[in-house]
């Protein structure tokens, strides 16, 4: 079977190319299960109810996120009512929502998605390594296919987690930095890995925001409002081939689609 993972969707440009190209990608790669990171889908920061409703009209099985999931107040209600919308599992007990979702393909194959957040250069959360241990131990025996979205700043932390989980999950895919890495590979134990899947949004930008706004913030070292860029819109992600009986991956392929491509 094949898993299709789409990296951080940024604002309206990201949502637009996702809507235009997702069906074609599913057909092209014969994808059985689709996971999309949507934490930047509403104006570049967070998720709103109307945006999530728009996204649920697409053939997406599970929606992952990261640290920006909390940027819109209404997300608490969304997380409590929409089990397919995840927040990182290693937030403290009592936080709204869940970091684990188990869905099924059209053929009835169960797929678990785990969402984790890194701690290096980020918040002081519970350990993502031990959180993964706990969640994996709680899965039913018939759940063999497991995809992990690790939303983290440090490449070393994402890579370390992938090796830690090698042989126990089907794939560990990094998000958050919005820059696709060229290190996709299958680790010795059968876990597919990419340090960062990249951004689905405008690439004539600084990680999705208009460059001039970001440059001013760096120059002045004072708050300056960001604005989602509009040009050179691309969709980034990866396709993972998995043996549904064992849960082991045999291949991972990077995807980068430009909005103007046929």
CA–CA separation, 54 and 172 (whole Å):
27
Q: Among residues 175, 171, 173, 174, which one has the least CA distance to residue 191? A: 171
Sign for the pseudo-dihedral over CA of 221, 180, 40, 37 = negative
CA–CA separation, 13 and 55 (whole Å):
13
Q: What are phi and psi of 111, to 5 degrees?
A: -130, 125
CA–CA separation, 98 and 113 (whole Å):
11
List, by residue number, the catalytic residues: 68
For 235, the token pair is 């969709």
Contact yes or no for 160/187 (Cβ under 8 A)? no
Beta strands in the chain (DSSP E): 2-6, 33-37, 62-64, 100-104, 110-117, 145-151, 171-175, 185-186, 192-194, 201-202, 233-242, 249-258
CA–CA separation, 145 and 243 (whole Å):
8
CA–CA separation, 97 and 78 (whole Å):
8
């Amino acid at each position: 079977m094949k898993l299709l993972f789409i990296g951080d969707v940024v604002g309206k440009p990201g949502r637009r190319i996702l809507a235009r190209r997702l069906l074609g990608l599913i057909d092209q790669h014969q994808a059985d299960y689709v996971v999309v990171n949507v934490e930047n889908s509403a104006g570049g920061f967070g998720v709103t109810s109307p945006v999530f409703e728009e996204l649920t009209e697409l053939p997406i099985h599970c929606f992952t996120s990261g640290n920006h999931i909390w940027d819109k107040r209404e997300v608490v209600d969304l997380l409590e009512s929409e089990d397919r919308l995840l927040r990182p599992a290693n937030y403290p007990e009592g936080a709204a929502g869940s970091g684990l979702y188990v869905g099924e393909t059209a053929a009835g194959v169960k797929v678990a998605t785990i969402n984790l957040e890194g701690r290096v250069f980020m918040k002081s959360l519970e350990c993502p390594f031990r959180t993964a241990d706990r969640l994996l131990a709680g899965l039913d025996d018939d759940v063999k296919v497991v995809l992990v979205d690790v939303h983290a700043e440090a490449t070393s932390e994402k890579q370390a987690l992938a090796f830690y989980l090698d042989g126990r999950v089907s794939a560990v895919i990094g998000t958050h930095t919005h820059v696709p890495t060229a290190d996709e590979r299958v680790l010795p134990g059968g876990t597919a890995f990419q340090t960062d899947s990249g951004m689905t949004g405008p690439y004539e930008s600084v990680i999705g925001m208009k460059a001039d706004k970001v440059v001013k913030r760096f120059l002045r070292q004072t708050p300056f409002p960001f604005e989602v860029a509009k040009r050179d819109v691309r969709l980034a992600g990866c396709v993972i081939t998995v043996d549904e009986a064992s849960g082991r991956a045999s291949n991972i392929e990077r995807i980068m689609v430009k909005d103007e491509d046929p």
